[in-house]
Every structure is written in structure tokens, then in C-alpha cells.
Amino acid sequence: MQTLSENRCFGGTQGVYSHAATTTNCDMTFGLFLPEEAQDGPVPILWYLSGLTCTHENAMTKAGAQQWAAEQGIALCFPDTSPRGEDVADDEAYDLGKGAGFYVNATQDPWARHFQMWDYVAEELPALLAENFAIDMDRQAITGHSMGGHGALTLAMSLPGRFRSVSAFSPICNPTGADWGRKQLTAYLGDDETTWARHDASLLMAETGFDGPVLVDTGTSDQFLDLLKPETLAAAAAKRRQQIQFRMQPGYDHSYFFVSSFMEDHVAFHAEALYA
């Protein structure tokens, strides 16, 4: 593991690190914020999964999460959204290939060799953090934005006991039923739609739900509502009587101005679960 940068930030340290990842067969870069308390011992962690076109950097610089994490004594991890490098397959579209890993393990060519983002985020990166940083892996929570909200919700529901709480900002809620999803799931997983179901937050909510609190925020002026389909998640959660705060925020859109506006709420929500 290599340290690319470390900056003092809200009394803690915002670091950027890279490592040769075996799941994705390439060098991966991630951001990690450690609050001051990490100097004295392991701290809880909140994962932040980013959306289409993002790297590890966007949320790290624009979401304003460090201040609240510092206040709560929580670490933040910002993984990249796809494998990277010259020999990694890509597509001209912004929503397929690099920057658009969709948090799945691809089974189809040309993607399968590197696009193993589920295993990277669920297994390899947590193991790396546990080994190298003062993080209490028994206290994890997860959030994300857009495609990252999809990742957060599907990981949380698929790994029972791993995360104490899950939240999302304008998540892709029903990828098997929308153009942000069908195209990518076809490319990465193939035509057999039965393999898609475990990557659809609304289907997972109907099937298994989440054993803990859920918070979802979406803007009423989000320009991508037709692609996100928050209504399918809301309906599934209500039907199974899932503990959830599902909020449509008046006038907000899909941007980081929206994410940062409600970041304080989300970090406080996770802190309550992490320190319960």
C-alpha cells in the first residue's frame, strides 16, 4: 500500500492511498478520513460509495462529510467506482466501464477480468483497512450517492450483520427496471435476468430487507428521478414494514449541493447506530 497524500482535516487526517488489488487486477486508489480519536484506538467506519463518473475524490472534496465524522469520531472510506488503468476495458458511454462499476462482479467479457467491484468493496478493501488502520470493523455503516446509493443498499441487505445502518442519497433503486441498470447489468452479468436480482435494492427490500435502520434522501427536483425510481424502494419498504426514513427533499436536485446539504443528518443517523 502506498500513501499518495495525507492532509490534516478537522483535527484528523484525510489520506489517499493506492494498492495493487487482486480482485480487480489493477492498482486501486481510495480516500480514508481518520478522526483524531484514531490515534488512541480503533474507531467505527462509515463507507461512502460514489456515483457514475466519480473517482475516490469527488465525495472526499465535495460532500462535506469529514466535519461531521470528526465530530462523531468516525472514519470515512471513499473507494473508487471502478477498476482503472490502460488495460482495463472501457466504453465511450459515461455510464458503462470506467467510473461505472455498479458494484457487481462482472461475469461477461470484456469486463470480467477487472470489474469485480462487489468483491473489492465487500472483501478486499475492508481487509486492507483492518490490517493497516485503527478501525473497529465490528462497527461499520454504509452510505452512497446515486450508483453508490445502489451499492450501499445492495451490499447492506446482502451482507447481514456487516453494517449497523445504511443510508443513501438519490440512489438508483430499481436497476432491473430502468436504463440506469438494465444496460449495465446486461453488459456485466449477461442476459439472464435472474442473476440481476441480487443487485436490485427494491427486489432485495421485498425479499430480505435490512436488519437495522435505513435512511434514504432524494430531491424532488432530481433530474434523474425516472432512472432512480425511488418509488419502487419506498413501496417495497412499506410493504415489508422495514424500519426506514424515506425522504423526498423539496427543490433539491442530484448534485453534491444536495448531498452536502443533508450530510450532517446522515452522519448523525449512522453515529446513533454505530454507538448504540
Number of residues in the chain: 276
Binding to a copy of itself by residue 9, rule CB under 8 A?
Answer: yes
138 is known as an active-site residue: no
The amino acid present at 75, given as its one-letter code, is A
One of 136, 231, 253, 265 touching a copy of itself (CB under 8 A): 253
At closest approach, how far in Å is the CB of 10 from a copy of itself?
5
Applying CB under 8 A, which part among 130-138, 145-153, 187-195, 259-267 lies near a copy of itself? 259-267
Query: CA dist 45 to 38, 62, 106, 153, 182, Å?
Result: 11, 19, 27, 16, 32
Binding to a copy of itself by residue 251, rule CB under 8 A?
Answer: yes
One of 122, 255, 265, 272 touching a copy of itself (CB under 8 A): 255
254 is known as an active-site residue: yes
Query: Which residue, 32 or 203, is less far from a copy of itself as judged by CB?
Result: 32
One of 208, 212, 261, 272 touching a copy of itself (CB under 8 A): 261
Catalytic residue among 146, 165, 167, 202: 146
Question: Among 23, 63, 34, which Cα is nearest to 136's?
Answer: 34
Q: Are 149 and 166 in contact (CB under 8 A)?
A: no
Give φ, ψ of 147 to 5 degrees.
-55, -35
270 is known as an active-site residue: no
Binding to a copy of itself by residue 15, rule CB under 8 A?
Answer: no
Strand stretches in the chain, DSSP E: 2-9, 12-21, 26-34, 43-49, 75-79, 135-144, 163-169, 214-219, 244-249
Sequence-separated (6 or more) residues with CB below 8 Å from residue 4? 15, 16, 17, 18, 29
Query: Rule CB under 8 A: which residues touch a copy of itself?
Result: 7-11, 14, 61-62, 64, 66-67, 219, 221, 251-253, 255-258, 260-261, 264
Catalytic residues: 146, 222, 254
